[in-house]
Structure 1
Amino acid sequence: MNQDRRQFYRIEKRVALEFRILENDDDFASQPPSAFKVSPYFMLQTQLREIDAEANKLLKVLTKTAPSVAACLKLMNTKIDIIGQTLAANNRMGEDVKTELVNLSEGGLSFTNSSAIAKDTLMLVKLIFPDACLGLLLHANVQRCEAIEEGFDIGISFLRMPETCRTQLARLIIESQTHEIKTHQHVD
């Protein structure tokens, strides 16, 4: 595949990422790659916390200039938090999940990790795309591990990905690129 095409099908995307190192071939064979649907409430609490952090910065400024408006917005924020907690109460699995920015393609991804992972290490990778309510459970192989300021830049390639997973991932990448192009056109 030429370099231009490789870059075209590569995006920066916020995902929830979990991985587990596979110690032997039995681990590798026992957990086949798959796609799974994610409840729309799965990432609700995490998304609300991210929005809350941004809103708090703005509320501090607004408190100085319009205290009554800031107080009203704080009440609305509390109301939204209560609704979010109620909706997510039955799905506690997403409570501690954090999203991170990864560089993603159909063939693999790169992400930042606090510790090094040896080249050729096999792993089971769980990717959750909150905006698409989609999750993928995939086998991967570490292709590179480079020290960077924030820790280590880990590059992995997906192994034996079922065609259904590959199709869903390709669709997600194309939709993200289309959205980004439309966003840039509206800005220009």
Structure 2
Amino acid sequence: MSGRVRGKRNVLVAGPGERPYTQNQYEPATCRIVNEFSDHHRCHGFAMSTYDVDDRREYYRIEDTIALEFTLLSGAAAHSSDVLHDASPLFNLLSDLHLMDFESQHLLRHISERDRTLANYLKVINKRIDLLGQAVAQSLLRDIGLPRKVSLSEGGISFNNAQPVPEYSHLAIKMVLMPQALGLLLRARVVHCSQRADGQYEIGTEFEALTDSQRQLLARHILQRQALERRQARE
């Protein structure tokens, strides 16, 4: 992969264990910027707006509307890298459904190569499970509250809040991404908190200790949103 920038020539390469993105895949390679001093980078035609200085990563950021709530982590929980689990069995069920679906996709592709009829049947079963997941999500949305506008990337999430949140504090962010009803409970660190003209506070966070599955699920959701926006722009 290669990228064009002003001033200096950069080379974009896929990170360890990551696959190059193609237009018919929902699993993009994360682009690594070899030269960190350039003032503008592009990857596969998409502008990258979130920059991780420590890891030299940039992520494509989307505007989205999701159900979201968060809690402050303290003590050992704030500095742990263990996967978080929610107190709600329904939310954990929703998360597990999507993780199992994601982890089984490569098996479904192998089955499709050998037995198309069986693969089609399994796809129907997956659609039924998706419908059950959406029903569970509707119940969860009533508990989490009204959806709110956010700015989301693989690297972090920004949102508005009625109260300030201390910078450098650690959060457990619980969110449901629509329309696929993807439930995620992620660790994040507050990197900025600034008051807006309307009295709300803009909270900017970066995700911490994401598993590979969580990162890939986020990437797939972001690419699906991009594809939807492009279709809507053409209509």
TM-score normalised to structure 1 length: 0.66
- Structure 1 residues without counterparts, runs of 5 or longer: 45-90
1:126 corresponds in structure 2 to 174
Kindly report which structure 2 residues correspond to 1:150-165, keeping only aligned pairs within 5 A, or say none.
150=198, 151-165=200-214
* Alignment length (residue pairs): 139
2:154 is the alignment partner of 1:112: no
C-alpha separation in 1, matches of 2:231 and 2:69: 30
Amino acid across the alignment from 2:204: G
Tell me by how many angstroms 1:154 deviates: 0.3
Tell me by how many angstroms 1:133 deviates: 1.5
Kindly report which structure 2 residues correspond to 1:2-81, keeping only aligned pairs within 5 A, or say none.
3-4=41-42, 5-7=47-49, 9-26=60-77, 28-29=79-80, 32-33=83-84, 35-37=95-97, 39-44=133-138
1:175 corresponds in structure 2 to 224
- Structure 2 residues without counterparts, runs of 5 or longer: 1-32, 34-39, 50-58, 86-94, 99-132
2:196 is the alignment partner of 1:148: yes
162 and 37 in structure 1: CA distance in 2 versus 1, 3 angstrom threshold: same
From 88, 95, 102, the counterpart of 2:142: 95
Contact 1:37 1:133 (C-alpha < 8 Å) held by counterparts: no
Greater shift, 20-29 or 147-156, is seen at 20-29
185 and 140 in structure 1: CA distance in 2 versus 1, 3 angstrom threshold: same
Tell me by how many angstroms 1:155 deviates: 0.1
Tell me by how many angstroms 1:124 deviates: 0.5
Q: Which structure features the higher share of helix residues?
A: 1
C-alpha separation in 1, matches of 2:41 and 2:172: 27
98 and 28 in structure 1: CA distance in 2 versus 1, 3 angstrom threshold: farther
Q: Which runs of 4+ in 1 moved over 6 A?
A: none
1:96-153 alpha-carbon deviations (Å, 9 max, x no partner) = 4210110000000100000111110001111111311111110000000000033100
Tell me by how many angstroms 1:6 deviates: 1.9
C-alpha separation in 1, matches of 2:166 and 2:154: 22
C-alpha separation in 1, matches of 2:208 and 2:214: 11
Q: Secondary structure at 1:171's aligned position in 2?
A: helix
TM-score normalised to structure 2 length: 0.54
RMSD: 2.2
